[in-house]
Amino acid sequence: MAEKKTHMQLFQPVDLTQGTCWKTILVFSLPVILSYLLQQIYTISDAAIVGQTLTAQEVAGVNDTSSLVFIFLQFAFGVSAGFCVVTSCHVGAQDDRGVRRSLTTQIVLSAVLTVVLTALALALLNPMLAWINVTPADPEVYHAAYTYCFIIFVGIGAQMFYNFICSFLRSMGDSVTPLIFLLFSTVLNVGLDLLFILKFHWGVAGAAAATVSAQLISTVGCFCYAFAHYPNIRLKKEDWHITMHDVRRHVSRGIPLGLQFSVLAVGIIVMQGGVVQFDMLDGRMVSNAAQNGFGAANKLNSLVMTPMNALGTAMTSFTAQNLGAGRYDRIKKGTLQGMVLMGVIMALAVGIGMLLTIDQLYLHVFLSADKVTEETIRFGNSSLYVDFALYPFLGGIFLFRNCAQGIGQSPFVLGAGAAELVARITVCLVLPGLFAGGAVSADAPAMAFYALCAADPMAWIAADTVLCIWWGSSTSPGFASIPNGLSASATSPPCTTCFSKTASLRCTLPWHGISPWSRKMIFAVRH
């Protein structure tokens, strides 16, 4: 009986509005961290198998396209996370009907976005490849890049709905179920990688097909489990009567975050294009060292920053649920304690990352021995050391951006993304050329590549600047304006003040210092 009880408790949602803030955040975030790490194994397994079995040109093609895939898949991830802010508010307010309406709205919007994103990605595939200097002039690299991207883009729907159902469950406080299905999906992906690449000899196409297939199967399984395990989200006919109000609420949270993630990807594409230039001389590709070294470093970077990103995601659900419950004191306290947790996780991440650079271990994971040259090592390590040294700025982005999203401050999230984009593009286009004394090429000095690597930290600093302005300004709708609890002196204005059409109805919430965006969110949930 005890074992059964423990099992049942494991799969029960965490009530983020109760308990000690940091303990609640930690319990909820640990499965999220493990989920995100497993998500990275998706990418790593593809990269490792491709890197060990295919040619240097094919490996370069896959590495070059990572930024292109990122722009669309991250949009899907960001939109799903933004949509579920609405769900978390309904969960915090214990509004089951609102949760179901949120679910149906997200299903419809995710389907529409899948069609739009797939069509857009396929239409822009060739122009985007040309943007990062991958052209038919180097046919083997071009063919590998085109094939990989085409299959991944055809399968955008699997990624869209997978992110959606996982984000939805987390918004309900269930971070364990997404972890279980992601574990299944990861094992399946590795198995299909080996089958498609080593047995069927599908090459790059096999790696992409394995990823899409594993995600699709896991998505179907996760949906089936969710409806079976949670009776309160089993949909009724009336739940499908979606209004424009429902659509606007979700779009106003999801699209800004999706755009913010995509905006970042645009900057990364510019950076990837800059990396390719270090392998070119007189317009010809003379090496793959920069592409392969930077690509391997990028994958390690993505892996070690994952726990920080996951904690940020957990903070979105935490702040949104407490917003719906009217627990503003917990929002402020939880955010401050989240800063401490972020610092600890960041230190561990940097330590693990540095350990993996010993004897170039990470390069040997992602590349076969013949591809690990002195130049590959130089490019890879340069990128990692610059990023690791300035990780505190990245941790600030993950924490404050997600907290801002959780309390409905989408404009500040988008503003931080815009600042990050401008900074990254400016550094990429200006600094390397200054240190190279002109056009960047394979014979550029080492400092030119260090200048390119500085684009990431400079982008983080720019985003943090925007978020700090939001945090500290007494006139902005940041945490500084959230009251320390439900003050008895706070007034309860007529609902006309907080956007109700019924003048006689009065709210029961304290509104002092709460931004119009947050008022809209709270009122939509409570009324």
- Which pLDDT score, from 0 to 100, does residue 17 have? 86
24-38, 79-93, 403-417: the lowest-pLDDT one: 403-417
User: What proportion of the chain, given as a percentage, has pLDDT over 90?
Assistant: 28
Mind spelling out the 3-state secondary structure of 14-30? CCCCCCCHHHHHHHHHH
- Which pLDDT score, from 0 to 100, does residue 450 have? 92
pLDDT digits (tens, 9 = 90+) for 455-488: 999 999 999 998 888 776 533 444 444 443 333 3
pLDDT digits (tens, 9 = 90+) for 140-157: 888 988 999 999 999 999
Q: What is the mean pLDDT of residues 224-251?
A: 91
pLDDT digits (tens, 9 = 90+) for 332-363: 899 899 999 999 999 999 999 999 998 888 89
- Please report the beta strands in 204-328, taking only residues with DSSP state E, as ranges in sequence order: 280-281, 284-285
- Which pLDDT score, from 0 to 100, does residue 506 have? 32
Across the chain, mean pLDDT equals 81
- Which pLDDT score, from 0 to 100, does residue 381 have? 92
CB 138 within 8 Å of CB 61: no
Nearest to 172 by CA among 222, 216, 113: 222
Nearest to 113 by CA among 162, 169, 161, 171: 161
Confidence of residue 8 (pLDDT cuts 50, 70, 90): very low
Q: Print burial letters for 338-353: b (CB count within 10 Å at least 16), e (below 16).
A: beebbeebbeebbeeb
pTM (predicted TM-score): 0.71
pLDDT digits (tens, 9 = 90+) for 356-398: 998 888 898 878 788 888 899 999 999 999 999 999 999 999 9
Q: Which tokens in the block code for residue 345?
A: 């996780």
CB 478 within 8 Å of CB 519: no
- Res 1 pLDDT > 80: no
CA end-to-end distance (rounded Å), the chain: 42
- Res 114 pLDDT > 80: yes
- Res 517 pLDDT > 50: no
- Which pLDDT score, from 0 to 100, does residue 43 have? 67
pLDDT digits (tens, 9 = 90+) for 302-322: 888 889 988 988 888 888 888
C-alpha 272/C-alpha 294 separation (Å) is 9
**Amino acid identity, position 22:** W
Q: What is the mean pLDDT of residues 158-187?
A: 89
CB 309 within 8 Å of CB 460: no
Query: Could you tell me which residue, 14 or 119, shows the higher pLDDT?
Result: 119
64-78, 114-128, 230-244, 307-321: the lowest-pLDDT one: 64-78
- Which pLDDT score, from 0 to 100, does residue 485 have? 35
C-alpha 385/C-alpha 364 separation (Å) is 18
User: What's the chain's length in residues?
Assistant: 527
- Res 103 pLDDT > 90: yes
Which residues neighbour 525 within 8 Å (Cβ) at sequence distance 6 or greater? Answer: 89, 90, 92, 93, 95, 98, 324
- Res 523 pLDDT > 60: no
- Which pLDDT score, from 0 to 100, does residue 347 have? 94
Cα distances from 328 to residues 89, 174, 256, 404, 509, in angstroms, run: 13, 22, 23, 13, 11
Q: What is the mean pLDDT of residues 122-139?
A: 86
Query: Could you tell me which residue, 527 or 77, shows the higher pLDDT?
Result: 77
Nearest to 363 by CA among 122, 28, 59: 59
Rg for the chain, CA atoms, rounded: 23
Confidence of residue 417 (pLDDT cuts 50, 70, 90): confident
Write out the DSSP string of 92-131: HTT-HHHHHHHHHHHHHHHHHHHHHHHHHHHHTHHHHHHH
- Which pLDDT score, from 0 to 100, does residue 473 have? 59
- Which pLDDT score, from 0 to 100, does residue 6 have? 44
Which residues neighbour 14 within 8 Å (Cβ) at sequence distance 6 or greater? Answer: 24, 27, 28, 173, 174, 175
C-alpha 168/C-alpha 181 separation (Å) is 14
- Which pLDDT score, from 0 to 100, does residue 10 have? 52
C-alpha 100/C-alpha 58 separation (Å) is 46
